A and B are shown apart, each in its own frame.
Chain A
């Protein structure tokens, strides 16, 4: 690594590893399962012949056949061809809070005391894990100011769907659910804040940002009516700008008879600073895999921990975990419960890791997390704005909370190099850079969120990477446009992916469509 420019002479692992079917050798075995005991076989026979004749599979499934070490090697090589947060300066995936997931918490989750628990065991045998669930509920109540949490939803989007379901149940209990058929959200809220209530049958009104980048209060006033069921809003939004009028939003919606759900999936800049309660929200949720450090796992398993005010507890999914001063227990007596949103009690490993993370930091630590995340973000903002071709629309001259949505529009106009091109070239230096949720209201968008986990030196390294790519864009745009050059594979041909005649979602479909 060149210490002066801080850009690495990086090359990602490139094993040229075939698709697993191309590695198959007839007869090889990867694992042997327990054999049947002779005594059982003598009594039962082959077992299969007792099954209904028409239900017996005649051809074994066409799975690959590989020895154990070859399977291991295949997957280890593919793991090396994946750039996890543990390996890169993962600040390029804004909105997703790619922070450090402590290894000690992984140790806890690997313990047989967790992995070997069946969810239908007698309550007396699972007091430890119930204690974790219950105490995490208490912690999240404190962090949000709300009155009860369920940890059942298996991700942020499922938590949003549960919020929409509770809003629906609330109005139903007032005989109002048919009349109140609209949910209000904002364009810079997460896409699921609009998509999930749509599944629930709601018409969704998306409030656009005003010139300050904030959702427009006047537009909200026009949007509410006696058809308003509720509000689902992220704050800070994807722009990282805190909406100072958020309480006015909840007031307007409450006055119209709606209830308000706060998308706090990413609360990484505001722990101990500001809460759902003070902004008068009725519901909120936190993603334990974002703010609370549980790893993202290539896209889950995850948890959207959902909290409500006292008035809405009766609508929560069952069961709730309670404590009667002697023991922890499940409470299924939730009179107007929406039922269940996910099986059992939630994604236990994510819950356990979030619990442990909070217990390693405490109140002061959580606040320090947020303050340093905000410090890092504003440092990054300052440095990015110094890069030619980059800018940060909205709130000029003001500070941001935990992330910023930037734009390469100037770079694009100057050089023809797009956000996607920059993304592909950043890969060559060992970095990841994400664009934005759709639609691209900010042209040529990119969204950075440094969290609290990365040192100043690492932030500087990322900035140096961006600077290097921008330099190239102005001097030699072709190198950027044809990137990546030093990643696992080269530029994809994507035309097949939207063509029903040529797309191939499985290897067998690929073979059928590519017969020689």
Chain B
């Protein structure tokens, strides 16, 4: 850009000199500088910001950004088996169509009148999630599962008046890190062991650690290691017998075929809705939900917005607005529950679209096809020499631990070879779960064809067997 040529930027209409002059005149000042009279000289930044020369034409900007993005290799161009807190599912076209609508994309915090649609879509999202979860209260989404779990735990602390929490060791380590920071220094966290044979919670360890100081036990189902926990009722009963709450984190896309946690005694359920119509976006598509029964002692502890349905002055008209707004930090900056702010509402609207498209049958069929495919993958993988599937007595939904301890190759080496063949191998958990040794979590969803799974197993077989022969 030539320094001398003054451009009128398309994003800044009142840069036009005549308009600017007219406005300055109206204000009664000579120049814009005098509007900054309150910023003392000593605080002024006197240099030019050292930023790259801008791309003023939209075309040049497009060339620039696309050139950078072209360096990425995607899960669409490759075959990916990555899961673990972010998952590749099919995103129906209408999900994108709706969340890219100008109205939803650029609205923010309007009133229940001009933003009626925002309130209704988020109420409907909560309503459909409520059916999936078999619970009556669901929040406007928070940032992600980690935040949802953290808040569920803090809610349990306030509801029970206790400050200790038990968490299953099979939780995602990243999520545990979020929870630890969110709870520190108020809530003390202890972990509960899992059974190395089944991957399920070790009930003896739970009984030993739970006490009348425990606010709640938090476990995930399926866990980060993929195992379906079928002792939910027993765990909830143990918690309740100590006056503690049962807190369960889940993947909502599993609930077409799996029993929702409310049916086995959960008091607060949380998780991520990314699988319900959000692209992965390098982890940008996450959004957390929290659900409870419709009891005042639960509802009043939510920090989130809760949208409710009500009447208007016109008979038969539905209106929507905030339920118990006064509990939020928007109303009371000190006494409000935790804090609320901009989080991930647009993904909530999108998940609503997804659930409306899928319907009861769709969720059921989807859940079934996912377990069939993951079971097929387990069957194929476990036949490879040097490859084992631990926790065999248990069962999986879409993620499964693959054990390469006898393969003579580290997960890192294996994934490197797979990458050369345009396959993104499962997530390396050898550092996250050192007791399992050389393992990876593979994720199989409806997007994987039989051919994809066969290609993975062939490639692994070829590499591992060939290496063995050498």
A20 contacts across to B, CB distance below 8 A: 124, 127-128, 352, 356
Is A491 positioned at the interface, with any CB of B under 8 Å from its CB? yes
Q: 1/0 per residue A466-510: CB within 8 Å of B?
A: 000000000000000010100111111110111010011111111
Complex Cα gap A30–B359 (Å): 7
Report, as a range, how many residues of chain A touch the other chain. 35 or more
* A to B CB contacts below 8 Å, 9 in the list: A31-B358, A37-B450, A55-B232, A78-B121, A86-B105, A192-B333, A296-B342, A343-B146, A509-B130
Is B208 positioned at the interface, with any CB of A under 8 Å from its CB? no
Q: 1/0 per residue A62-77: CB within 8 Å of B?
A: 1111101001101111
B359 touches A366 (CB 8 A): no
A75 touches B121 (CB 8 A): yes
Report, as a range, how many residues of chain B touch the other chain. 35 or more
B283 contacts across to A, CB distance below 8 A: 119, 343-346, 348
Chain B positions 312-330 with a Cβ under 8 Å from a chain A Cβ: 312-314, 317-319, 321-326, 329-330
B294 touches A509 (CB 8 A): yes
A365 touches B143 (CB 8 A): no
A31 touches B51 (CB 8 A): no
B72 touches A128 (CB 8 A): yes
Give chain B nearest CB distance to A149 CB in angstroms.
14
Give chain A nearest CB distance to B37 CB in angstroms.
6
Is B336 positioned at the interface, with any CB of A under 8 Å from its CB? yes
B362 contacts across to A, CB distance below 8 A: 29-33, 63
B465 contacts across to A, CB distance below 8 A: none
A84 touches B363 (CB 8 A): no
CB-CB nearest in chain B for A197: B339
Known contacts A116-B76, A154-B143, A492-B319: A363-B355 contact under CB 8 Å: no
Give chain B nearest CB distance to A8 CB in angstroms.
13
B113 touches A119 (CB 8 A): no
Chain A positions 48-95 with a Cβ under 8 Å from a chain B Cβ: 48, 50-52, 54-57, 60-66, 68, 71-72, 74-88, 90, 93
Chain A positions 269-315 with a Cβ under 8 Å from a chain B Cβ: 270-275, 278-279, 287, 289, 295-302
Complex Cα gap A394–B50 (Å): 36
A47 contacts across to B, CB distance below 8 A: 368-369, 371-372, 375
Complex Cα gap A87–B58 (Å): 22
Chain B positions 44-71 with a Cβ under 8 Å from a chain A Cβ: 44-45, 48-56, 58, 61-62, 64-66, 68-71
- Comparing B27-35, B209-217, B240-248, B401-409, the segment that makes contact with chain A is B27-35
Q: 1/0 per residue B162-191: CB within 8 Å of A?
A: 000000000000110110111011100000
Known contacts A60-B256, A360-B11: A272-B45 contact under CB 8 Å: yes
A46 touches B175 (CB 8 A): no
CB-CB nearest in chain A for B331: A438
Is B206 positioned at the interface, with any CB of A under 8 Å from its CB? no
Is A221 positioned at the interface, with any CB of B under 8 Å from its CB? no
A505 touches B137 (CB 8 A): yes
Is A3 positioned at the interface, with any CB of B under 8 Å from its CB? no
B438 contacts across to A, CB distance below 8 A: none
Chain B positions 84-108 with a Cβ under 8 Å from a chain A Cβ: 84-86, 88, 90, 92, 94, 96-108
A417 contacts across to B, CB distance below 8 A: none
B113 touches A424 (CB 8 A): yes
B42 contacts across to A, CB distance below 8 A: 247, 278
Q: Select one of B108, B319, B339 contacting A196, CB under 8 A.
A: B339
Q: Select one of B13, B48, B82, B346 contacting A455, CB under 8 A.
A: B13
Complex Cα gap A177–B280 (Å): 38
B285 contacts across to A, CB distance below 8 A: 115, 301
Give chain B nearest CB distance to A36 CB in angstroms.
5
A21 touches B15 (CB 8 A): no
Is A454 positioned at the interface, with any CB of B under 8 Å from its CB? yes
B51 touches A343 (CB 8 A): no
Is A2 positioned at the interface, with any CB of B under 8 Å from its CB? no
A116 touches B75 (CB 8 A): yes
Q: Select one of B36, B115, B122, B325 contacting A83, CB under 8 A.
A: B115
Complex Cα gap A91–B3 (Å): 32
Complex Cα gap A244–B42 (Å): 10
B94 touches A71 (CB 8 A): yes
Give chain B nearest CB distance to A476 CB in angstroms.
18
- With most chain B CB atoms within 10 A of its CB, the pick from A41, A86, A132, A344 is A344
A118 touches B280 (CB 8 A): yes
Is B349 positioned at the interface, with any CB of A under 8 Å from its CB? yes
B105 touches A118 (CB 8 A): no
Q: Select one of A64, A193, A195, A369 contacting B338, CB under 8 A.
A: A195
Complex Cα gap A340–B20 (Å): 46
A82 touches B113 (CB 8 A): no
